[in-house]
Structure 1
Amino acid sequence: MTTQYDPPATGQDGTTARGPKPPAPARAPGAGEPGQPFARRLWRGREEDPRWARPALLGLLAATLLLYLYDLSASGYANSFYSAAVQAGSTSWKAFFFGSLDAGNAITVDKPPASLWPMELSVRVFGLGSWAILTPEVLMGVAAVAVVHAGVRRRFGPAAGLIAGAVLALTPVAALMFRFDNPDAMLALLMSVACYLVVRALEDGRTRWLVWAGVAIGFAFLAKTLQAFLILPALASVYAVCAPVPVRRRFGQLAAATLALVVSGGWWVAVVELWPASARPYIGGSQHNSFLELTFGYNGLGRLDGEETGSVGGVGGGGGTGMWGETGWNRMFDSEIGGQISWLLPSALILLVAGLVATRRLRRTSVTRASFLVWGGSLLMTMAVFSFMAGIFHQYYTVALAPYLAAVTGMGAGLLWERRRQAWASVTLAAAVAAAAAWGYVLLHRTPGYLPWLRWLVLVGGLVAAFGLVFAGRISRRLALAAAAVGLVAALAGPTAYTLSTLAEGHTGSIVTAGPAGASTRGGRGGGPG
């Protein structure tokens, strides 16, 4: 990445992540013009991007698709609880609408049905089978990678976007859940879309972007209820403070987005609640056949304090240990969760702080800083809730963190790389690589029988790369790029190995984990309690 590849979008402060916007690079006459064939324009990409950017993106998306499709049928019907609902919805439109477990519409699943709809439509077209059920989940994973890449590329350049997309694709829990039929795949995709749209709204202050973000969160609610609202405080507060429009207009836009959220997420709830109970299936998971009770009880506030009505048990308070694991600030790093999501989490936190420090003197409306606040705020809000929630918690829930973590990593790496001639930036970038290598060593050491040579390769390679990056602003560009490449490989080697192990095995049941056998003390390949 060099300054000639700065993205075209600029905030009200007239800057990108790397300073004033430079002129667009020269290009061959007619390249990528509207009159060119669609295939050529698709391959060439945007005028301001280097020639390698679009082929690299298409390669990343194709590789993600092929990886996630590999031996997809090994998981069979994956979570048979949701697969039963998919089968019912593929034969009965009433079961399709309500999310019934059976075509006779006796009872629903314990979630809204939106995550089932793509799978049910696929089964209606292609027939019942593992590929028909799980391929829509794979496509959501590829779409999430594309959205995160687009969100980062707009302001931090194509290389940063590629790093963010690769981090998401190679996160073990993402590789698990984008090949599984739980609601988490759709939730992660829609949350990524919401963050992307809020950043677009912060660029130009247009209401439509914020309204569409509300629609995305509303449909995410129809995938996994209140978990979709975890990032609302971060998104709303950032827009209220940083949007490039007058205060009254900001709050009017937020009101319009809230209305869009309520309509897109509430229409189904209203229909279900108004439908005569005797003429619809029983709401699974509720005690009194009420979706609102399910939403705010078993699937809602009860998840926070462990007092869900109808729950099979929980911690019952913060800082304790129960059947859902130990709560506390280190929960995302412990032996149950760490190998699923936390490989680059220390680095992402370092890069988030560095990004906020680097942009602290920019104007209120700086979209560069706002991007860190949107994606980083979503990361911190979700991580805090997951760390301290005392109710039902499964390791695979952490897939919700993956898009935010990937975006922050890509943005921070891109920003610090462009400022590497400043000593603090090169040292901080080196610290992020060293943290990834050290934490990767710790996680790999927790499964000492799994590729024992890899942890040393990660540690040594990462530390060597970090040493080189300390001097990235003083050595030649070629040597600095070599150090950055070694650091990136070292940082991604551990999660890539866990991801490949995840893809190599089938996963069935209701409690599944990513990585090799023994990577988590709870859950596993073959499932758990229904």
Structure 2
Amino acid sequence: MASVTHHPPLAVPRPAGPEPRAAAGGKNRDHVRGAGLILLGICALAGVLYTWAIGASDFGNAYYSAAIRSMTESLPNFLFGAADPYGVVNAAKPPMALWPQAVFASVFGFHSWALMLPQVIEGVATVVLLHRTVRLWAGERVALVAALILALTPVTVMVNRSNNTDTLLVLLLVAAAYAFTRAVHSDAARSQVRWLLLCAFLIGCGFTTKLMAAWVIVPGLALVYLVCVDGPVRRRVNHLLAAGGVLAVSSLWWPVLLDVWPGRKPYMGASLDGTALDNIIGYNGFGKIFNLGQQYGGSGLHVQLGAVGMGGGYPDVTRMFVLEVGGQISWLLPFSLLVLAVVGAAGYRRLWFRVPGNRLQRAGWLLWSTWLVVTILVFSFTEGIWHPYYTTALAPPIAAISAAGLSLLWRTYRTGRGRGWLLLPASVALTGAWAVVLIDRDPSWQGWTKWVVIAATLVSVVGLVLGSRSSAQRRTVGRSAFLLGVVAMLFTPAVWSVVSAAEHKTNGGFPSAGPPNEALNALTRGELPAGAVIPGFEHVEPAPPRAGGFAGAVLHEENRKVLEYAERNSDGAAITLAVEGGGLAASSFIIDSDAMLVSMGGYLGADAAPSVDQLRRWVDDGALRYVLTAAPGEKRMGGIAGMGGEEQRERVEWVQDNCAPVDPAVYGGAPITPAEDMLPLPGYGDAMLYRCG
């Protein structure tokens, strides 16, 4: 069989050793110092993007912000992540991502910036850890480029400006990747297993942050450890079994604690029986993948999700490239997939010709490629509720693969062997063309960047072609064209990140870069103008919601009147007001007041918390006097109580049958909006206050 010369795709950093002497030592110190300054600059850029005007964010995700305020009320609320001050229901996830925010709120006071500051710290730490991880695998220059790409990823910038759980999840997964890379690079078995166990622990912390979303990278890591680590197979299997034990304990301690807790505790949100186990298996586990009553108009959630900013396209192989998702994450996704195809073909060729490869290089490519591909597959075919901002979990592998791919293709181009040099100009052209497609989807927003991308891409491609004629031209013309091509690839996502961070006054519960959803923002603020177009209702003339919006952090005047009336007349009841519609309806009451409130029904009102029996006991015991729920009449889609399922309907009917409605004129409120004037959207238009007992 013919022999071939093996050229590793990337240079593997040499193990650390004694510093070279004399001139070499000085040059090495200067190189390290220069790289450190560049990394510091990238981190500063990320920090500015994450913090610019962050105090104007209106508490980001109001649902989580309300939970954070509730968690500061008591230790059980903090431990179990209660979504309301009375501790009736949990925020539908383990609370690890909310704990730092609750601590900061306790120390600095309950302010928007206090909740966002931990997110900023976590986001910048992720950039640093990604740099350290990629540096172990591919060297300093590649690591710096990877850090820059991550810092400029639009969806990541906007997620890190919010208080969603994904910021901590991504930090923990990148930290796990760092620990795993250290394990693969270790020569001693004891060091390997220590780093592997740390990796498993960090993924378990990710599970305590966002449940099964953290486990997506586990199959790839297990595969890499089996095929890329030196040592007997039996030892590798034993190491993986030990890591599996650590993963199980670090993942499941909180769900088990909640389920076996003997005292008073919140009902686990988004579960059928109040247990964390049901939530893990159902709504936040297999329920997301296989749609257990979570789709548009599904049996559990009665609301058009796309109309309230919760849509993420439909499950198929193109989902990462569709209108709602493409501009958030996919700028470099085609390039990353091209790079993986090239690396995969090269690996197959090595196997065919039995040429030994570099196991550390192979481990790095497998680590990042399995993270990327498996996550794309899970996201693309998830049938339940899926939000575009989840794609921030793709940012680290895209950054690592893109940076390493640029190095690989530049090295291939520079050597000038065969036709491999064509891959570099082809990849620049592909990425530029995809950027133009994304920009043209809404040219009214930063559409000018298209012409910059087209010009830079054309000049880069022509320069790379002309520079390929000789080694001297590759070093001069080719290098300049290559650098211009990198600028063309990163230009528009960088502009989207900067402008979105500077102009988006509120990030809401569903962070996104690019053109803001003005109709949704106006609806949330209660400022929906006549003739406004809401996605999904283009041919309907909507009326502004009576009570000034929904799901925001500001308690509008109409609802403040309701709360103040309940406070004056509740006769010392333990619960000042119970609000139907879940956290989506109750968030502003919790954030903008000190009252003891109950958020009924979890997030959208679909949970059996409280049950009808619990409501009856509260009323009989004098613990509850006032409930804000739907006005009498037929069942509606939307409104304050039209998002949940049968559990919500039973609560609404019990209140309507057993409590007396309070005329809005008594507390100076506006009349109820007629049913025929309401859209099937969340809102307070049909909200009515009831006196119970």
TM-score normalised by length of structure 1: 0.87
Cα shift at 1:262 = 1.1
| Residue 414 in structure 1 maps to residue 407 in structure 2 | yes
Q: Which of 482, 495, 498 does residue 497 from structure 1 map onto?
A: 495
Q: Which of 372, 386, 407 does residue 379 from structure 1 map onto?
A: 372
Cα shift at 1:203 = 1.4
Which deviates the most, 471-480 or 196-205?
Answer: 471-480
Cα shift at 1:314 = 10
Aligned residues of 1:98 and 1:113 also touching (Cα < 8 A): yes
Pick closer, same or farther for the CA change 1:222–1:17 going to 2, 3 Å: same
Cα distance in 1 for residues equivalent to 2:197 and 2:458: 45
Aligned residues of 2:57 and 2:505 also touching (Cα < 8 A): yes
Q: Which of 113, 123, 126 does residue 108 from structure 2 map onto?
A: 126
Name the residue aligned to 1:318.
none
Cα shift at 1:355 = 2.9
Percent identical across equivalent pairs?
36
Aligned residues of 1:119 and 1:132 also touching (Cα < 8 A): yes
Cα shift at 1:366 = 1.0
The SS at the match of 1:52 is helix
Matches within 5 A, 1:430-509: 430-470=425-465, 471=467, 474=471, 475-504=473-502, 505-509=504-508
| Residue 268 in structure 1 maps to residue 254 in structure 2 | yes
Cα distance in 2 for residues equivalent to 1:510 and 1:354: 39
Count of aligned positions: 498
Cα shift at 1:29 = 7.3
Cα shift at 1:413 = 1.4
Larger Rg computed on CA atoms: 2
Cα distance in 1 for residues equivalent to 2:105 and 2:372: 34
Matches within 5 A, 1:91-240: 91-204=73-186, 206-240=192-226
Aligned residues of 1:508 and 1:526 also touching (Cα < 8 A): no
| Residue 366 in structure 1 maps to residue 364 in structure 2 | no
Aligned residues of 1:68 and 1:175 also touching (Cα < 8 A): yes
| Residue 245 in structure 1 maps to residue 245 in structure 2 | no
Structure 2, unmatched stretches of 5+, are 1-5, 305-309, 526-549, 552-583, 585-693
Name the residue aligned to 1:71.
53
Aligned residues of 1:506 and 1:525 also touching (Cα < 8 A): no
Q: Which of 22, 31, 38 does residue 56 from structure 1 map onto?
A: 38
Cα distance in 1 for residues equivalent to 2:521 and 2:293: 21
Pick closer, same or farther for the CA change 1:377–1:476 going to 2, 3 Å: same
Give me the CA root mean square deviation.
Answer: 3.0
| Residue 301 in structure 1 maps to residue 286 in structure 2 | yes
Pick closer, same or farther for the CA change 1:201–1:112 going to 2, 3 Å: same
Q: Which of 36, 48, 62 does residue 80 from structure 1 map onto?
A: 62
Name the residue aligned to 1:513.
512
Aligned residues of 1:141 and 1:189 also touching (Cα < 8 A): yes
Cα shift at 1:51 = 4.4
Aligned residues of 2:228 and 2:362 also touching (Cα < 8 A): no
Cα distance in 2 for residues equivalent to 1:469 and 1:368: 27
Cα distance in 1 for residues equivalent to 2:253 and 2:342: 42
1:130-188 deviation line (CA, Å, top 9, x unaligned): 11100111111111111111121223222211111111111110001111111111111
The SS at the match of 2:167 is helix
Pick closer, same or farther for the CA change 1:400–1:467 going to 2, 3 Å: same
Cα shift at 1:102 = 2.7
Cα shift at 1:308 = 4.0
Cα distance in 2 for residues equivalent to 1:155 and 1:17: 9
| Residue 392 in structure 1 maps to residue 385 in structure 2 | yes
Aligned residues of 1:458 and 1:493 also touching (Cα < 8 A): yes
Aligned residues of 2:204 and 2:247 also touching (Cα < 8 A): yes
Cα shift at 1:389 = 0.9
Which deviates the most, 368-377 or 446-455?
Answer: 446-455
1:344-391 deviation line (CA, Å, top 9, x unaligned): 100111112223334553646611121011111100000011111111
Structure 1, unmatched stretches of 5+, are 1-12, 33-43, 316-321
Aligned residues of 1:215 and 1:264 also touching (Cα < 8 A): yes
Pick closer, same or farther for the CA change 1:166–1:346 going to 2, 3 Å: same
The SS at the match of 1:325 is coil
Name the residue aligned to 1:312.
301
Cα shift at 1:284 = 1.4
Name the residue aligned to 1:6.
none
TM-score normalised by length of structure 2: 0.67
Cα distance in 2 for residues equivalent to 1:66 and 1:241: 41
Name the residue aligned to 1:18.
11
Cα distance in 2 for residues equivalent to 1:370 and 1:97: 38
Aligned residues of 1:111 and 1:225 also touching (Cα < 8 A): yes
The SS at the match of 1:104 is coil
